[in-house]
Amino acid sequence: MESRIARADELHRRGYNCAQAVACTYCDLAGVDEAVAFRGMEAFGRGMGGMDGTCGAISGAVYLAGLVTSDVNLEKPASKRESYKLSEQIVSAFAEKNGATSCHELKGINCDHGMLRSCPGCIQDACEIVERVLFSDKFN
């Protein structure tokens, strides 16, 4: 399967926030309707809490990790450990590549450095990680 990074960029240019762009690009592979992913990720744009929190693109990727690994056992959930492991891989890979995970640091707002990565760049990086970590069997 061909990379979907261009699709995520297109969704972002259409007005999806960073979290929505990443989550909606791969939601079909995780078994979720795009409208559900769109709605669920809406408050995760702008780095949760108005650019102070985790980058939305990372949030979209971590959302997908939960969808892919959850056993949906409401009585006795047993899949959290695997979900946390994938989440940690995603966040670590992003931080290693960009030097930060918070939106304000990535944008260089109230920091001693300039911009580390643009929103389209963060979306691209999160998509590359999603394709490698969550869906390596589908993307070359």
* pLDDT tens digits, 55-100: 999 999 999 999 999 999 999 999 999 999 999 999 999 999 999 9
pLDDT, residue 140, reads 67
* Domain residue extents for the chain: 5-134
**How far is 51 from 69, CA to CA, in rounded Å?**
28
Contacting residues for 127 by C-beta, under 8 A, at least 6 apart: 3, 4, 5, 8, 22, 25, 26, 57, 61
CA distance linking residue 56 with residue 52, whole number of Å = 11
pTM of this structure: 0.95
Element counts in the chain: helices (H) and strands (E): 7, 0
Cα end-to-end span (Å), the chain? 7
